[in-house]
Structure 1
C-alpha cells in the first residue's frame, strides 16, 4: 500500500491556510507620514538628498515612494526641515535641538495669545457689568418703559391719521397734478404713435382701419386724452 510521505503533508499545510482572516494593513495618514519622516532625521542626525530619502523612507518607515517628496516638502514649508541648494543638489536636514526650540517658540506664542484672550475676556466682562449699571429692574424703570411703549403706540396712530389727510396737503396735490400731466403727455404721445402706425399700414398694405383695430385689440373710441 502507498503511504503519503510525512514531509509532503507538513509542506502542504500552509497552502491550506485560510488567508481571508488576514486583513490588509492600513496605510499611513498624512500626519503619520510626517512623523515618520521626522524620525529619520532625528534618529540619524544626518543630511540627506531627496533620492536618499526615497530609498530609506519606504524601507524603514513604510512611507510610499510616491509620497516621499510631498511629505518632505510639507515639512520644509512648515520650517520643520531645513533645506539648502549646494551646486546642483538640494540637501535636507533637521536636528532635534531646532525642533525643541521651534516647539518652545510655538508654546510661548500660544501662551501669549491665551493671556491676551483672558485679558480681553476680563475686559469684556467688566464692560458688561458697567453696561448693566442703571438698568436694574426697578419700579421706576418699569414705569418709564411702559410710558415709552404707550408714547410709541400713540406716535404710530398719529402717523396713520396723517396719512389719511395727505391728499389735502397742497404740496401733495401739486405733486399729483404734475404726475398727471406727465402721464397725460405720455399717453397722448403713444396714441399719436399708434395713429401713425395705422396710417402707414393702410397706405402700405391697404388694410381697412376696422380690421386693424380688431386685429390689434384697439377700441373703437380710442383717441387722445383732453
Structure 2
C-alpha cells in the first residue's frame, strides 16, 4: 500500500484559508494549531503556513492585549487579489509602452544604415583605418624604450636600487666591523664565512655609472637627462 502524499505548501495555505473563511472568526495561534490537523495540515507546520499568509496580506495579524490574533475574511482576500491584478495590469501596460519605445528607437537607428554600395565602401574604409591605427600603435610600442617618460621612470628606479644596494653594503661593513671587534679570536672563521657568502676582498660600494654602463649611465651619473 502506497504511503499517502503530504500536502504541498500551496495546498496547506488553501486549507488554512478555508478555516478562516468558513468560520470568519478570530483565532489564536494555538487554536489554529488544533484546527490545522482537521484540514490535513500538521500542527508543527501551521505557524509557518499562517505566517506566509500574513506576509502575502491574505491573513491579518494583530496584538490585542497580551495575545496575538489572526483573521481573514473572503472580502479581504478579494480586495488583495484585486490589488494584485491592478498592479499586474499596470506592469503590463508599462511593459508594452517600453516595448513600443524600443521598437521606435530600433527603427530610428536603422535609418541611414540600409545595405548599399556606399555603406559597404564606408565600412571597408573604417576597417582599413582601424587596422592602420593598430599597426601604428604596435609600432609606437617598439619605441617605448626611447620614450622620455619611460626613461625617467627607469632612471628613478635605478637610483632607488643603487641607494638600497649601497645601504646594504654599509650595513655589511658595519656588521663585519662589529664581528671583528667582538670576536677577534674567530678572525679566520669569519673570513672564511664571508667568502662563502660572496663577500670578497673586492667587495665595495657601487658607483652609479657602473650600474648602467654606456651613455645612459654616464648621463645619470652626471645628473643629465
Question: TM range, normalised to the smaller chain?
Answer: 0.7 to 0.9
**What are the equivalent positions in structure 2 for 1:61-76 lying under 5 Å apart?**
61-76=39-54
The SS at the match of 1:39 is helix
Match of 2:219 in 1: none
CA drift of 1:99 comes to 0.9
Whether 2:34 is the aligned partner of 1:52: answer no
Cα distance between partner residues in 2 of 1:177 and 1:90? 78
- 2:172 maps to 1:194: yes
CA offset at residue 165 of structure 1?
A: 4.3
Number of aligned positions between the proteins: 204
| Equivalent position of 2:133 in the other structure | 155
Flag the 1:180–1:114 CA change in 2: closer, same or farther, 3 A.
same
1:75 deviates by: 1.6
* C-alpha RMSD of matched pairs (Å): 2.6
- Structure-2 separation of matches of 1:30 and 1:125: 41
| 1:86 matched to 2:44 | no
Equivalent residue for 1:144, pick from 122, 128, 148:
122
**Are 1:117 and 2:95 matched, yes or no?**
yes
Structure 1 residue 107: Cα displacement: 0.6
1:207 to partner: Cα distance: 4.0
Aligned to 1:24: 3
Partner-residue secondary structure (3-state), 1:154 = helix
Change in CA separation of 1:92 and 1:173 when aligned onto 2, cut-off 3 Å: closer
Q: Which has the larger radius of gyration?
A: 1
SS at 2:27 equivalent: coil
- Aligned residue for 1:123, secondary structure, equals helix
1:96 equivalent to 2:71? Answer no
Distance 2:79 2:46 in 1: 25
Unaligned runs of 5+ residues in structure 2 are 208-225
Q: Give the corresponding residue for 2:163.
A: 185
Q: Give the SS at the match of 2:68.
A: strand
Aligned to 1:34: 13
**Aligned 8 A contact 1:42 1:94 in 2:** yes
Q: Which runs of 5+ in 1 are unaligned?
A: 1-21
Distance 1:155 1:97 in 2: 71
Tell me how far 1:142 sits from its aligned partner.
Answer: 2.0
Secondary structure of the 1:90 match is strand
Q: TM-score, normalised by structure 1?
A: 0.77
Structure 2 residue matching 1:28: 3-state secondary structure: coil
SS of match in other structure, 2:57: coil
Please, what TM-score do these two structures have when normalized by structure 2? 0.77
C-alpha contact (below 8 Å) 1:82/1:92 kept by paired residues: yes
Q: Structure 1 CA distance, aligned partners of 2:11 and 2:152?
A: 81
